[in-house]
Amino acid sequence: MLIGILGGGQLGRMLALAGYPFGLRFRGLDPAPDAPLGQLADLVVAPYDDSSALDRFVRDLDLVTYEFENVPGATAQFLSERVPVFPPPEALIHAQDRLFEKQLFETCGIPVPRYAPVSSPDDFARALEQVPLPALLKTRRLGYDGRGQARVERAEDLPLAWEQLGGVPCLLEERIPFDFEVSLLAARSRSGELAFYPLVENQHTEGILAISRAPAPRASRQLQHLAERYVRALLERLAYVGVLAVEFFVVGDQLLANEMAPRVHNSGHWTIEGAETSQFEQHLRALLDWPLGSTTPRGHAAMVNLLGTVPPIASLLAIPNAHVHLYGKAPRPRRKLGHVTVRADTADERDALVRRVLEVVSLPAPVSI
Ligand code: AMP
Which residue among 124, 158, 174 closes a domain? Answer: 174
- How many structural domains are present in the chain? 3
Cα distances (angstroms) measured from residue 48 to each of 39, 44, 45, 141: 20, 10, 9, 17
Report the pLDDT value the prediction gives residue 145, as an integer from 0 to 100: 66
For residue 209, which atom of ligand 1 is closest to its CA?
Answer: 10
Same domain, 347 and 245: yes
Same domain, 323 and 248: yes
Cα distances (angstroms) measured from residue 250 to each of 86, 226, 230: 30, 11, 14
> For ligand 1, is residue 367 a contact (CB within 6 Å)?
no
Same domain, 34 and 71: yes
pLDDT at 248 over 70: yes
Look at residues 302, 323, 275, 274 and name the one whose alpha carbon lies nearest to residue 217. Answer: 302
Same domain, 21 and 150: no
Asked whether residue 168 is assigned to any structural domain, the reply reads yes
User: Residue 288 carries which side chain, given as an amino acid letter?
Assistant: L
- Whole-structure pTM value: 0.97
For residue 143, which atom of ligand 1 is closest to its CA?
Answer: 2
CA distance 232 to 194: 8
Residue 146's CATH number: 3.30.1490.20
CA distance 327 to 235: 30
> For ligand 1, is residue 181 a contact (CB within 6 Å)?
yes
Q: Which domain holds residue 208?
A: 180-360
Confidence of residue 141 (pLDDT cuts 50, 70, 90): very high
Confidence of residue 274 (pLDDT cuts 50, 70, 90): very high
Asked whether residue 70 is assigned to any structural domain, the reply reads yes
Cβ neighbours of residue 317 closer than 8 Å, sequence gap 6 or more: 324
Residue nearest to atom 23 of ligand 1 (CA): 175
> For ligand 1, is residue 237 a contact (CB within 6 Å)?
no
Which residue among 41, 70, 85 closes a domain? Answer: 85
Same domain, 268 and 140: no
Residue 328's CATH number: 3.30.470.20
Burial class (CB in 10 A: 0-12, 13-18, 19+), 43: buried
Same domain, 184 and 170: no
Asked whether residue 105 is assigned to any structural domain, the reply reads no
**Mean per-residue pLDDT, 249-275:** 98
Asked whether residue 69 is assigned to any structural domain, the reply reads yes
pLDDT cut 70: percent of the chain above it: 99
Same domain, 253 and 349: yes
Asked whether residue 106 is assigned to any structural domain, the reply reads no
DSSP bridge partners of 343: 301
Same domain, 267 and 354: yes
Helix axis angle for 221-237 and 98-107, nearest 10°, is 110
> For ligand 1, is residue 101 a contact (CB within 6 Å)?
no
Report the pLDDT value the prediction gives residue 69, as an integer from 0 to 100: 87
Same domain, 159 and 57: no
Same domain, 167 and 185: no
- Determine the residue of 98, 130, 136 to mutate for testing ligand 1's pocket, defined as the one with the most ligand atoms within 8 A of the Cβ atom: 136
Same domain, 322 and 217: yes
Asked whether residue 94 is assigned to any structural domain, the reply reads no
> For ligand 1, is residue 67 a contact (CB within 6 Å)?
no
pLDDT at 144 over 80: no
Burial class (CB in 10 A: 0-12, 13-18, 19+), 164: exposed
Report the pLDDT value the prediction gives residue 366, as an integer from 0 to 100: 83
Residue nearest to atom 8 of ligand 1 (CA): 207
> For ligand 1, is residue 5 a contact (CB within 6 Å)?
no
Confidence of residue 143 (pLDDT cuts 50, 70, 90): confident
CA distance 10 to 7: 9
What is the overall mean pLDDT for the chain? 96
For residue 135, which atom of ligand 1 is closest to its CA?
Answer: 19
Residue 33's CATH number: 3.40.50.20
Which residue among 127, 159, 174 closes a domain? Answer: 174
Same domain, 50 and 151: no
Report the pLDDT value the prediction gives residue 239, as an integer from 0 to 100: 98
172-211 residue pLDDT tens: 999 999 999 999 999 999 999 999 999 999 999 988 999 9
Alpha helices in the chain (DSSP H): 10-19, 51-58, 73-80, 89-95, 98-107, 124-130, 157-164, 221-237, 271-274, 279-287, 313-317, 347-360
209-221 residue pLDDT tens: 999 999 999 999 9
Asked whether residue 184 is assigned to any structural domain, the reply reads yes
95-129 residue pLDDT tens: 999 999 999 999 999 999 999 999 999 999 999 99
Asked whether residue 136 is assigned to any structural domain, the reply reads yes
